[in-house]
């Protein structure tokens, strides 16, 4: 087998090498870094960003670097896994801290930044960290400029370059020049892009001969060549390297040179450009590189690769953060095929929805949830039992323990728990392995819909963990009076907008049967009402339907309006187990129904007995676990599966 064929058959497409940091982005736009009061956290650093961006576009990417043995290092590792980036080359440094970067958007194209990188983990990368067999498992590696600034990390990257060339793979060089990371500027000058340096140029020139692809801005091409003129700089690089050269020109896109450098720089290969509002330039080059690699490594023409790179860069400059904002391949293709009427892509609802839906934190193909978010119902039980309502809190902890016994750490299990009586239950929930937690926000029994605690729902959501899903029950019938319908619709629209702004998933529960007659078209009509307003929840929670035709119409309505919807879960309404089992069976041919979220059928007996003192903690746990297990087994049986 030839070297080229071996490289083509490699299990990884690309390994990126170098910086890995935690970016802390100021959330107040138009503020000096001195005035920022809150920050959003994300994975950052040129190679880490490229690895994430490439993975989102469908490449099999890996990151090779070091992170600290602390919470920020673990965050990077866990987030890379969520992004499907291979972490086999990610080393843990027990002596050094993970790098941090503080950033703000002060003005259009102006983003002050402070690098906290003194003796950081990634700069300690050494030759011992380079496993040649791991390097040779990829088609290409990306080496980055900053890691040539120290002897140890320089040696590490050169060892990786030698290994990949030996296996027939490609070397990509992202010049990635930041003067203050070479010790040429002060800590406050992190945003500075260019300081001429013979020392830097001399080091970078020695990298060029072994490269197959060189990518840089105008300033980076100048520093890599040592020239003062762009044409002379490109010709100097060409004299040292046969690599394909990609010149990044910001809002003007890029030009690719695959042979001799023409006297007229415009005579290179030019991809399609995309006029866009410049919101934040940081990380745009890494998004650009991800798009170019997707085309270049995927066998597309250089023009197509450049077009994809330009589009990915456009996404990045139109959004705030770095890697979290990079497009997925589905998102990119939608944009290329449909364009956008918005110069600010972050304001395009269709594109933003695809971005949201294709970058969710985890896949949940099925969901069996124990709903223990009931408030008024359990308060009624306590009142009838003569028990102190404060005891409901302890009962909900028992419910979590029962659910965890059934789940056993397996995928597909979750719970619904409320804030009013369930805070300790949520802490208990966090000690166990579940896929999903939903939290109600509606005021129990309200019609028209009102939120619990405060009508300023956004201020409540800020405090929630990122993976907690908002659940909102609305008693809604499509034949309700027009004024009532409009009020409830606007309430849910505000909730949906807050959920997207804050970055939390949303489940909308619709109960229509308590306020009107139900037929096969009732729920589809209700869903269509909400979709017409632009409300696209991640989940629907719906009543069991009387016929397969109703489910078919529900599914068609969802797919027509939001093919990215996670699906439907069934609610229980205290139905007897046999009725629920029949309802489960009725959904066997409705793939959009992904599971159930049932409560009173599981917990009501234990609640009545425990609150009156006729049942111990252990007995209550066993009773609820038994009932939850029966429902999970019935659900799996209806889908032709058995519990593991």
Tens digits of residue pLDDT in 45-104: 999 999 999 999 999 999 999 999 999 999 999 999 999 999 999 999 999 999 999 999
For residue 642, the model assigns a pLDDT of 64
For residue 623, the model assigns a pLDDT of 98
Contact 448, 484 (CB under 8 A): yes
526-530-532-537 Cα dihedral, nearest 10 degrees: -130
Between CA 131 and CA 93 the distance in angstroms is: 16
Residue 364: name the closest of 429, 434, 441 by CA.
434
pTM: 0.92
Determine the number of helices (DSSP H) and then strands (DSSP E) in the chain: 22, 21
573-608 pLDDT, tens digit per residue, is 888 999 999 999 999 889 999 999 999 999 999 999
171-200 pLDDT, tens digit per residue, is 999 999 999 999 898 888 878 778 999 999
131-179 pLDDT, tens digit per residue, is 999 999 999 999 999 999 999 999 999 999 999 999 999 999 999 999 9
For residue 6, the model assigns a pLDDT of 40
Between CA 198 and CA 218 the distance in angstroms is: 17
Instruction: Name the stretches of the chain with pLDDT < 50.
Output: 1-9
Between CA 425 and CA 393 the distance in angstroms is: 7
For residue 189, the model assigns a pLDDT of 84
For residue 80, the surrounding DSSP H or E stretch is helix 71-82
High-pLDDT (> 70) share of the chain, %: 98
For residue 643, the model assigns a pLDDT of 59
> Strands 21-26 and 12-17, how do they pair?
unpaired
> Strands 539-542 and 567-571, how do they pair?
parallel
Structure tokens belonging to residue 291:
């798009």
Between CA 354 and CA 368 the distance in angstroms is: 26
For residue 24, the model assigns a pLDDT of 96
Entry field: residues in the chain = 644
For residue 466, the model assigns a pLDDT of 93
Between CA 175 and CA 144 the distance in angstroms is: 6
For residue 4, the model assigns a pLDDT of 38
């Amino acid at each position: 087998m030839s070297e080229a064929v071996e490289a083509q058959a490699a299990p990884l497409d690309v390994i990126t090498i170098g910086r890995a940091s935690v970016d802390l982005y100021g959330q107040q736009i138009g503020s000096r870094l001195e005035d920022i009061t809150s920050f959003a956290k994300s994975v950052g650093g040129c190679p880490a960003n490229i690895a994430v961006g490439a993975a989102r576009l469908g490449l099999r990417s890996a990151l090779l670097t070091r992170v600290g043995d602390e919470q920020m290092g673990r965050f990077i590792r866990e987030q890379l896994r969520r992004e499907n980036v291979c972490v086999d080359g990610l080393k843990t440094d027990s002596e050094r801290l993970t790098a941090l970067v503080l950033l703000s958007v002060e003005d259009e194209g102006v983003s002050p930044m402070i690098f906290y990188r003194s003796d950081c983990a990634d700069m300690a990368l050494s030759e011992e960290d380079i496993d040649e067999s791991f390097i040779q498992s990829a088609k290409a590696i990306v080496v980055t400029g900053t890691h040539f600034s120290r002897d140890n990390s320089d040696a590490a990257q050169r060892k990786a370059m030698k290994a990949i060339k030996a296996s027939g793979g490609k070397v990509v060089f992202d010049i990635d020049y930041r003067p203050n990371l070479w010790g040429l500027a002060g800590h406050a000058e992190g945003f500075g892009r260019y300081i001429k340096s013979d020392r830097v140029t001399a080091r970078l020139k020695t990298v060029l001969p072994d490269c197959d692809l060189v990518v840089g801005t105008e300033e980076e091409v100048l520093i890599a060549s040592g020239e003062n003129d762009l044409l002379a700089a490109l010709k100097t690089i060409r004299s040292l390297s046969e690599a394909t050269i990609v010149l990044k020109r910001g809002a003007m896109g890029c030009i690719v040179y695959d042979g001799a450098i023409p006297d007229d720089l415009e005579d290179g290969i030019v991809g399609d450009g995309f006029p866009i509002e410049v919101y934040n330039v940081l990380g745009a080059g890494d998004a650009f590189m991800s798009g170019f690699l997707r085309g270049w490594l995927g066998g597309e023409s250089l023009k197509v690769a450049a077009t994809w790179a330009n589009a990915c860069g456009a996404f990045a400059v139109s959004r705030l953060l770095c890697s979290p904002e990079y497009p997925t391949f589905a998102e990119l293709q939608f944009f290329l095929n449909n364009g956008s009427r918005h110069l600010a892509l972050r304001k395009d609802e269709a594109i933003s929805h695809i971005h949201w839906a294709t970058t969710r934190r985890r896949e949940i193909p099925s969901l069996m949830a124990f709903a223990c978010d009931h408030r008024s119902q359990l308060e009624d039980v306590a009142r009838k039992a003569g028990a102190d309502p404060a005891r409901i809190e302890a009962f909900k902890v028992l419910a979590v323990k029962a659910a965890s016994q059934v789940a056993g750490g397996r995928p597909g299990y979750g719970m619904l728990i409320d804030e009013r009586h369930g805070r300790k239950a949520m802490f208990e929930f966090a000690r166990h392995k579940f896929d999903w937690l939903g939290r109600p926000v509606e005021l129990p029994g309200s019609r028209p819909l009102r939120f619990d605690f405060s009508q300023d729902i956004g201020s409540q959501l800020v405090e929630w963990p990122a993976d907690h899903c908002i659940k909102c029950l609305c008693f809604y019938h499509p034949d309700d009076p027009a004024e009532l319908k409009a009020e409830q619709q606007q309430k849910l629209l505000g909730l949906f907008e807050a959920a997207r702004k804050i970055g939390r998933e949303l489940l909308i529960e619709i109960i229509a049967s308590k306020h009107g007659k139900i037929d096969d078209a009732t729920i589809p009509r209700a869903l269509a009402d909400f979709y017409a307003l632009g409300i696209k929840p991640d989940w629907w929670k719906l009543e069991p339907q009387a016929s397969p035709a109703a489910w078919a119409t529900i599914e068609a309505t969802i797919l027509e309006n939001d093919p990215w919807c996670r699906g439907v879960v069934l609610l229980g309404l205290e139905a007897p187990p046999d009725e629920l089992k029949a309802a489960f069976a009725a959904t066997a041919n409705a793939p959009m129904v992904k599971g159930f979220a049932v409560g009173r059928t599981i917990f009501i007996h234990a609640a009545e007995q425990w609150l009156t003192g006729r049942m111990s903690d252990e007995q209550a746990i066993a009773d609820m676990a038994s009932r939850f297990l029966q429902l999970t087994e019935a659900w799996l049986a209806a889908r032709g599966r058995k519990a593991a």
